Amino acid sequence: MKGVFSAAVGDYDNDGRPDLCVLTAEAPVALHNTPKGYERTQFPLPQGRFEAALWVDYDHDYDQDLILFGEKTVLLRNQLPAGFADRTSDIPFVTGRAVSALVTRLIPDTKSHDIVVSYADRPAMVYRDRLGGFFDAAEIRTVPAGARQLQTADLDNDSAFDLVWDGGAALNRNGRFEPIAWSARGPAALADVENRGVLDVVAGGRQHRNAGRGRFDEPREAPGLSADAVALAAADFDGDGRVDLAAADPGGRLWRLRNETKTAHRWARVHIVGVKNLKLAFNSEVEIKSGPFYQKLLYRGVPLTFGLRDFDTIDTVRITWPNGLIQNEVKQKAGATLKFQEAQRLSGSCPMIWTWNGQGFEFITDVLGVAPLGASAGDGKYFPVDHDEYVWIDGERLQPRGGRLHVRITEELAEVTYLDQVELIAVDHPANVEIFTNDKWKSPPYPEFRLFGATRRVYPKRALLDGRHDVTERILRRDRRYIDSFARDFRGVAQKYAVELDFGAAAPDNRAVLVLNGWVDWADGSTFLQQAQSTPEGLVPPLLQARDDRGQWVTILDDMGMPAGKPKTIAVDLTGKFPGKSRRLRIVTNLALYWDEIFLIENSAAPDARLATALPLNADL
């Protein structure tokens, strides 16, 4: 390649090896990092000169998209394996010649990927990530026209990411940037030269020592560093716990400058690996806390070196992954590389229901999984919201305390519940009749409220997973022994599988109700979006098929519904649905659905039952 003047590092296929977008005078070139070295990619990129390139997961689907900046701006959305699609209109880019760009986070500890762009002919702009692929545009007058070599870092150790450019800097004050005194000129590297836990500035052959609170001492000479470097980068290249520099001179030669500063201060290196998030963990926030000492750095796909002053123990390493999951690693030793893999934890959850059972509060299940406000269901689509949910509570699990029935609804993780009405419905019914509700997670039309009654359960004579594996014993009783041997990944995506059920000669009048108990390990909204972009059908809610008299499987319900989250029992009305004499059914999906118990009841008529509604006497927040 000729005329190369810049390169952006990313990992567009998430294989854990850094790929490149190389900018040349004629066109950008994407290079794929393979075990044999870098190879040109096969997908096309627009021709012409671009001044900057940025890999960023702008639509939050766990893969990196590519933005090219110059006289025009081009946003290419990653839709592998299909390639990249032009989605420039998704972000309201202003007109102007863009010269530099970066990804930051205006508000700390959020999921946003805010994009700051500087222009040759106008002040910089910030494109604020409102999630879901939506962005707002706002001007940053603090960053003047012509600002280049944008960088983001926490200069004053207040947890907010500030801005630096060639010739200036500004502190982030609740999303607004305030300029500070800045004497450094030309390309700059931000480096904790002495392991003091603060970022110094190295520029123009001099070091500007960080004095705290956004102030810097008068510059002093940095021996070994040329004043005419055209580019600088900081990292611990030799692994000795001190941050070194790399410099490019006007002739295009690269120099590695080893940090030989004499210091007794301690250090720690943090290496993180994503699992659900990208393997190289781009744009994760990493924080260190030891006593009163605190520092935050932004992860860029390579290990971070933290200066620890005189502390030999780290109280907490706190990682905020790009999807918002927070992971704390406590009591870590200094002077070592600390490697952490993303923990398999929930980043969000539906509200939980607890009831007083006579001895203590007992967990029942979660609720309002049918009403996920703003949850992505695919490309530009959102889950429909069913505002009502009926949750069954067995009588022995709700006992009076002081003459009252106590129910608690809690939020355990990072979600907000908006409750409009809560009521308790008592169901009186004959002792020999079991009652089941029609409630479940299902796309519109939503299930109507009704009850089913059973005096006898008909269990399958045989149950097969994918027509081969006998799983009958897993569904004959509710014992938390689930059908769980289907192939799935950590995101909640399964290889499409089928559970076949043979009910023999049950329900001869064709008025059956299928009753199932189980739970779903939800994929998150980002995964639904990623699957919608990369596969023809995306994630498929369970569809129900039946065997006809010719021995063919016929789809009788495109969406039979499923438990809305944690273990619940659902009922599926099959009145008139069997296409022939066979009573064989098949449930097909690629969601991680775990069935515990499945049976038929043979009468879909409304049971003999009396309902009585009680409203809350009081509610406390």
Structural domains of the chain, with CATH: 4-187 (2.130.10.10), 266-341 (2.60.40.1120), 352-601 (no CATH)
Residue reference for tokens 């190289």: 280
Q: How many CA atoms lie within 13 A of 212 on its CB side?
A: 4
Q: How many CA atoms lie within 13 A of 594 on its CB side?
A: 17
Q: How confident is the model at residue 297 (pLDDT cuts 50, 70, 90)?
A: very high
How open is the CA angle 186-189-194, to the nearest 5 degrees? 130
**Two structure tokens written together for 153:** 């870092």
Contact 188, 201 (CB under 8 A): yes
Q: What is the pLDDT of residue 349?
A: 77
Q: What is the pLDDT of residue 412?
A: 85
Task: Map residue 548 onto helix, strand or coil.
Answer: coil
How open is the CA angle 108-114-119, to the nearest 5 degrees? 130
Q: What is the pLDDT of residue 372?
A: 84
For residue 460, CA distances in Å to 433, 474, 515, 516, 586 come to 20, 11, 11, 12, 12
pLDDT, mean of residues 30-50: 95
Residues 436-448: pLDDT tens digits? Answer: 999 999 999 999 9
Main-chain phi, psi angles of 88, to 5 degrees: -55, -35
Contact 194, 215 (CB under 8 A): no
Radius of gyration for the alpha carbons in the chain, expressed in angstroms and rounded: 30
Q: Where are the beta strands (DSSP E) in 508-581?
A: 513-520, 543-547, 553-557, 568-573
For residue 539, CA distances in Å to 218, 274, 447, 534 come to 59, 22, 21, 11
pLDDT, mean of residues 573-592: 97
Residue 383 has pLDDT above 90, yes or no: no
- 450 burial type by CB count under 10 A (0-12 exposed, 13-18 middle, 19+ buried): middle
Q: How confident is the model at residue 347 (pLDDT cuts 50, 70, 90)?
A: low
d(CA 161, CA 601): 60
Residues 391-414: pLDDT tens digits? Answer: 999 999 999 999 999 999 999 877
Q: Which residues pair with 19 in a beta bridge?
A: 10
Residues 209-222: pLDDT tens digits? Answer: 999 999 999 999 98
Residue 523 has pLDDT above 90, yes or no: no
Residue reference for tokens 């016929």: 554
How open is the CA angle 99-105-110, to the nearest 5 degrees? 155
Other beta carbons within 10 angstroms of residue 229's beta carbon come to: 23
Contact 566, 114 (CB under 8 A): no
Q: What is the pLDDT of residue 534?
A: 80
Residues 456-510: pLDDT tens digits? Answer: 999 999 999 999 999 999 999 999 999 999 999 888 899 999 999 999 999 999 9
pLDDT, mean of residues 305-325: 96
Residues in the chain: 621
Contacts of 460 (CB under 8 A, 6+ apart): 472, 475, 501, 502, 503, 598, 599
d(CA 199, CA 295): 10
Contact 284, 271 (CB under 8 A): no
Q: Model's pTM, two decimal places?
A: 0.87
Contact 486, 493 (CB under 8 A): no
- 457 burial type by CB count under 10 A (0-12 exposed, 13-18 middle, 19+ buried): middle
Residue 53 has pLDDT above 70, yes or no: yes
**Two structure tokens written together for 431:** 């002792």
Contact 267, 308 (CB under 8 A): yes
Contacts of 394 (CB under 8 A, 6+ apart): none
Contacts of 123 (CB under 8 A, 6+ apart): 139, 140, 141, 142, 143, 144, 145
Contact 161, 152 (CB under 8 A): yes
d(CA 435, CA 591): 28
Q: What is the pLDDT of residue 375?
A: 76
The runs of H, that is alpha helices, within 442-521 are: none
Q: What is the pLDDT of residue 414?
A: 75
d(CA 544, CA 94): 49
Residue 384 has pLDDT above 90, yes or no: no
Q: What is the pLDDT of residue 504?
A: 96
Other beta carbons within 10 angstroms of residue 42's beta carbon come to: 8
Instruction: Classify the phi-psi angles of 165: left when phi > 0, otherwise alpha if psi is within -120 to 50, otherwise beta.
Output: beta
Helix (H) or strand (E) holding 529: helix 525-534
Residue reference for tokens 């299928």: 514
pLDDT, mean of residues 334-348: 89
DSSP code, position 473: G
Q: What is the pLDDT of residue 133?
A: 86
d(CA 136, CA 367): 33
Average pLDDT, the chain: 94
- 366 burial type by CB count under 10 A (0-12 exposed, 13-18 middle, 19+ buried): buried
Contacts of 431 (CB under 8 A, 6+ apart): none
Q: What is the pLDDT of residue 17?
A: 97
Amino acid at 15: D
pLDDT, mean of residues 71-77: 97
pLDDT, mean of residues 172-183: 96
